[in-house]
Amino acid sequence: MSGRPPETEDKEQSGFGAFLDDLTGVNVDWRAAVLVPALAVLAALVVSVIIIIVSDIDLWREFSLSALGDSLAQARSAMWALLVGSFGSLTATSETLVFSAPLILAGLSVAIGFKAGLFNIGAEGQMLIGGMAAVLVGIKFSLPIVFHLPLVVIGAIVGGGIWGGIAGLLRARTGAHEVITTIMLNSIAGLAVIWMLNTTFFQAPGRNDPVSRDVLGSARLPRLLGFLDRTDLRLHLGIVLALVVAYIVYWILFKSTLGFEFRAVGFNPDAASYAGMRVTWLYTSVMALSGALAGLAGMSQINGVLYRATPGFAAGIGFDAISLALLGRSHPAGVVAAGFLFGALRAGGLEMQVATDIPIDLISVIQALVVVFIAAPALIRAIFRVKTGEEIGQLTKGWGT
Amino acid sequence: MTAATAAPGTPEVLIRTPAEIRRSRYLGFTYLFLAALVLLLFYRWSVDLGNFTFKLARPTDPSAPDLTLSAGRTTLIVGAVLAVLGGIQLSRGFGKATNIVLGVGLTLFIFAFLAWATAQSSLGQFSFVGMMNQTIVRSAPITLGALAGVMSERVAVINIAIEGQLLAGAFVAVVVASPLTQTDQALILGAPLGNWIGVGAAILTGMLLAWVLAVLAIRYVVDQIIVGVVITIFVGGMTAFLALRWLADNPQLNQAPIFKAIEIPLLTKIPFFGPVLFKHNIFVLGSFVFVALLTILLFRTRWGLRARAVGEHPAAADTLGVNVYRTRYLNVILGGAIAGFGGAFFTLGSVGRFDENMTNGRGFIGLAAMIFGRWHPIGAMAAGLVFGFADAMAQTLGILQTGVPSEFLGMAPFIATILVVAGLVGKARPPAADGQPYIKQ
């Protein structure tokens, strides 16, 4: 590959791409936006099947064709369980959407950072702080739901926003790289949550372990399918919130002056500064906004699903969000699509673990593989022998800036 | 950096940038704040408490006298010294000694804190030698991780996958060593042969992951920070997956003997320093060896000069005939070997079994230690020791029951890291080409 210049492609496309352009009225690099992600997901699933088979310990103890057959059958039923567990029934679809809501919100958080040239690895910590703020508002005040819920949302935005804003301010004022500071802030947030959950204010009465009180009924996101009167349909307002927020983020990024400045800073901070944009303010505000979005993701988990906080309530969603934002190419629409996919993987993964004994941690492996294939389209080119459009290239900068 | 070089012949003029003046002022107020803390809190609390005792020898150690002092007088003296340091820092500064003085000041502050914590405890004493020993032990994986980072970033490849390399090393080491050590075997340097094979497998695993990082970063020119994060996510998922799939039902695959401390003749007999510095297993001693080795290799050999040239200005190095790609591959993979070795510490050097996500962010702290240590092996070890000390002190304070929530003490290393990268301890300068791919023209 090296030595050859990257294939240049005309924006004018032919074939299916042109058809999609006509259909939607926008000119997008469809290969990069749709084909590569789809093939990346496919490749990752194939690799995960191989992992399932190779990791079968019975196969290692005594290799035989029938053992290989068993292991193939297990892999097949695992993939089937992934599908059934995510879209196989109304309950499954509801679960997929329940997982999608925080994933989309956290994915938007990472994506908006990428657009401004900042790599927010701190979504997990911002989720924790935003979620704890939502718990605080949720147990402290007793209000009618129409006032209480908005207050919870504001609390989560403020909590997550402050936590993200710290990293942005540090970057802007002192040059401390956001990758390092957000990793550290994650750890600090994790410890802070454990400490908070052991205080009398938060801790559930009669408990010795770090578990918070339940948030009040008026602070819970209403269930959307409540009229069906089934307890297994946990689908809540969070998914609507996530979609609305995705549109707002789209509007901010592509229709507002602020978003233009975010993208300008992401493209070239020096040029943006020369053009009179206040880089200090932009770095701080984009990280605060990013943190606020992650805070909403934490709120969606607390007030929509769990109703109380435990130390691990962010459940790695903040880290999945990184893969998710890359898969969605940091565009709100892409993030929503990737969010549904990752939500389906999480819901299906649970079913897979129950039905076939394949640990759900395989999902993290799949997600990591997806990102590898996305980030290195040359691999996809080599495997599938297709043209892949533009490369992602360098999103981050070294420590020295 | 403080003094700008003046024209020859004229006396050197001290020119300070606004940022340095601001930092100097911050530091001065920090000293005054710490002094106020010591005098207003620790001194007031401990003035009536009498003496405290730091034990400098455990029953099994070579004998050493205890350190017994009056808590009130100690805190008073430390507070006064800190106030004086603050005054000097604000009025004329310490010039080149600024960072050394800062180190001394912080050490004194911690000493006063420990003096009060010990005096107020019902025990009235604690094993200082034990805490320092733990400091060294806990710093070892951090230092090894940081060295992996140094190797890689000195040739301008950012390695944020240290966490993943450590975790993979920990897993592979125990899974390989467990079945090989079911029978009794003779000990070689503190462990049976099976353990050594486990360590070897861990090193190979670290190298394999580093090779993946290198291929994606160098050949496919993928963003290096993203590759590192992805490798860490992949290893986290993979080890948890395999731990459930293999180890949950086969506990015999997840129990290996651990490396015992090696008695070095003579050195371990030195009072206090013997047990603190020299009575350790191969991972801790190995971290010392690697620090020395890398310092010599990177800064005293032709090979090291070439590697650093690749990190600072790859195009220039290339022009002079250095193979940039090969140098980068080699260094990143050697760094992976060190990280794999460090990963084995978590299982074979510590508890003898693997638990999900057992490295618990140590690799990221190693990354911070590398930056704290300014991309130098000795600096990396010094930073590793600071983080190890914070860890060990949190443990000690738990025993002394100070009433300070242990979570806050646990935060100390992370806050320290943020302060470091924010430039409170001076601006660290990474290799000039760090993180940038090199495309040969």
CATH number for the domain spanning B320: value is: 1.10.3470
Residues B95 and B135 in one domain: no
Tokens of A206: 């009669």
CB contact under 8 A, A368 and B430: no
Confidence of residue A339 (pLDDT cuts 50, 70, 90): very high
User: In terms of domains, do B87 and B134 share one?
Assistant: no
Are B271 and B329 within one domain?
yes
Whether A290 contacts A112, CB under 8 Å: yes
pLDDT of residue A50: 93
For residue B32, tell me if it sits in a domain: yes
**B91 and B160 share a domain?**
no
ipTM value, please give it.
Answer: 0.86
One pLDDT digit (tens) per residue for chain B, 441 residues: 444 444 444 445 556 677 777 778 888 888 899 899 888 888 888 877 878 888 888 877 778 888 888 888 888 999 999 999 999 888 887 877 887 888 888 889 888 888 888 888 877 788 888 899 999 999 999 999 999 999 999 999 999 899 999 999 999 999 999 988 888 777 888 788 889 999 999 999 999 999 999 999 998 888 888 889 899 999 999 999 999 988 888 888 888 899 988 888 888 888 888 888 888 999 999 999 999 999 999 999 999 999 999 999 999 999 999 999 999 999 999 999 999 999 999 999 989 899 988 988 889 889 888 888 889 999 999 989 988 988 888 888 878 877 778 788 788 778 877 887 777 655 567 788 888 888 877
Q: Looking at residue A269, what is its pLDDT?
A: 83
Q: State the amino acid at position B420 in one-letter form.
A: V
Examine the domain organization and report whether B182 and B264 are in the same domain. Answer: yes
d(CA B299, CA A82) in angstroms, rounded, equals 53
pLDDT for res A192: 94
Query: CB-CB: which of B226, B433, B439 is closest to A326?
Result: B226
Q: Are B216 and B321 contained in the same domain?
A: yes
Q: Cβ of B223 and A362 within 8 Å? A: no
Residue B379 included in any domain: yes
Asked whether residue B441 is domain-assigned, the answer is no
Sheet containing strand B51-55, strands side by side: B67-70, B51-55, B125-127
Q: Across the A/B interface, how many CB contacts are shorter than 8 Å?
A: 162
User: What is the distance between the alpha carbons of residues B100 and B102, in angstroms, rounded to a whole number?
Assistant: 5
Beta strands in B122-248 (DSSP E): 125-127
Query: Which tokens is A297 given?
Result: 């993701």
Looking at the structure, do residues B310 and B292 belong to the same domain, yes or no?
Answer: yes
Q: Are residues B382 and B236 in the same domain?
A: yes
**Assigned domain for B358 exists:** yes
Contact, B112 vs B39, CB < 8 A?
A: no
B432, part of any domain: no
Q: Is residue B440 part of a domain?
A: no
- Residue B407 sits at the chain A interface (C-beta within 8 Å): yes
Chain A: residue nearest B368 by CA?
A: A180
DSSP-based three-state secondary structure for A231: coil
Which domain-ending residue is among B120, B154, B170?
Answer: B120
Give chain B's domain count: 2
Q: Domain of B387?
A: 130-421
Domain assignment present for B314:
yes
DSSP line for A171-207? HHHH---HHHHHHHHHHHHHHHHHHHHTSTTTBPTT-
Is B333 found in the same domain as B372?
A: yes
Which of the listed residues B71, B96, B120 is the one where a domain comes to its end? B120
Residue B229 is nearest to which of A1, A322, A397, comparing CB atoms? A322
Q: Is the dihedral of CA A236, A242, A245, A251 positive or negative?
A: negative
- Domain annotation covers residue B431: no
Contact yes or no for A170/B418 (Cβ under 8 A): yes
Min Cα separation B350/chain A (Å):
23
Do residue A174 and residue B242 have CB atoms under 8 angstroms apart? no
| End-of-domain residue from the set B120, B150, B178 | B120
**Do B191 and B224 lie in a common domain?**
yes
Closest CA to B339 of B168, B198, B177, B136: B168
Are B341 and B413 members of one domain?
yes
